């Protein structure tokens, strides 16, 4: 019989950082005004075990691109790795405010709140993430779905058409 997960084992679950291959970076990294420039710097520091330096790169990147949920997500995860759960909660919350229905952010926020001992808030955010993810999967069939990722190459033209109206 498999062992049931315990509170301690749940706390050990870490959220993965968004990462890209070096080939992807060569296509995307063009200037300091792009979040991928800062992501590359931070991930290089992470590979060296310098999480404090990662935080600095993510914060610098957010000065240039303040709405990058990719940088916000990784910054919040870095704070979690440093044990700065309140900072992680603040950044996950900001990301969720910038992009409602952001499932990754909602899960990260819920897990952080769980680690902080705020079970009711954690449950609320995890339930919201589940609900939004189910809606996202259901809406995959619709061309005008608000749950489709807006900033992928496949549907960037749809996003630009909506914004320009």
pLDDT of residue 113: 94
Per the domain annotation, does 140 fall within a domain?
Answer: yes
Write the CATH number for 71: 1.25.40.10
Per the domain annotation, does 157 fall within a domain?
Answer: yes
Per the domain annotation, does 119 fall within a domain?
Answer: yes
pLDDT of residue 78: 94
Span 65-106, pLDDT tens digits: 888 999 999 999 999 999 999 999 999 999 999 888 888 899
Q: Indicate the number of domains in the chain.
A: 1
Per the domain annotation, does 123 fall within a domain?
Answer: yes
Give pTM, 2 decimals.
Answer: 0.67
DSSP states along the chain: -PPPP-HHHHHT--PPPP---HHHHHHH---TTSHHHHHHHHHHHHHTT-HHHHHHHHHHHHHH-TT-HHHHHHHHHHHHHTT-HHHHHHHHHHHHHHSTT-HHHHHHHHHHHHHHT-HHHHHHHHHHHHHHHHHHHHHTT-TT-TTS-TTSTTTHHHHHHHHH-
Span 7-53, pLDDT tens digits: 444 444 455 565 555 555 554 555 667 788 888 888 888 889 999 99
Per the domain annotation, does 8 fall within a domain?
Answer: no
Range of the domain at 81: 17-164
Per the domain annotation, does 124 fall within a domain?
Answer: yes
Per the domain annotation, does 144 fall within a domain?
Answer: yes
Per the domain annotation, does 110 fall within a domain?
Answer: yes
Q: Give the CA angle between residues 99, 142, 128 to the nearest 5°.
A: 40
pLDDT of residue 22: 54
């Amino acid at each position: 019989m498999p062992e049931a997960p315990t509170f301690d084992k749940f706390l050990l679950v870490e959220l993965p950082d968004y990462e890209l291959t070096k080939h992807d970076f060569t296509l995307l990294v063009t200037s300091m005004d792009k979040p991928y420039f800062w992501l590359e710097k931070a991930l290089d520091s992470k590979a060296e075990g310098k999480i404090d330096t990662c935080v600095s790169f993510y914060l610098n990147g957010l000065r240039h691109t303040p709405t990058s949920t990719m940088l916000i997500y990784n910054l919040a995860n870095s704070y979690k790795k440093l044990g700065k759960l309140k900072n992680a909660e603040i950044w996950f919350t900001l990301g969720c405010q910038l992009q409602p229905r952001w499932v990754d952010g909602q899960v990260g926020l819920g897990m952080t709140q769980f680690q902080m001992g705020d079970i009711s808030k954690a449950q609320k955010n995890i339930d919201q993430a589940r609900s939004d993810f189910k809606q996202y999967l259901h809406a995959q069939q619709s061309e005008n779905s608000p749950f489709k990722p807006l900033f992928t190459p496949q549907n960037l033209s749809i996003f630009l058409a909506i914004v320009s109206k």
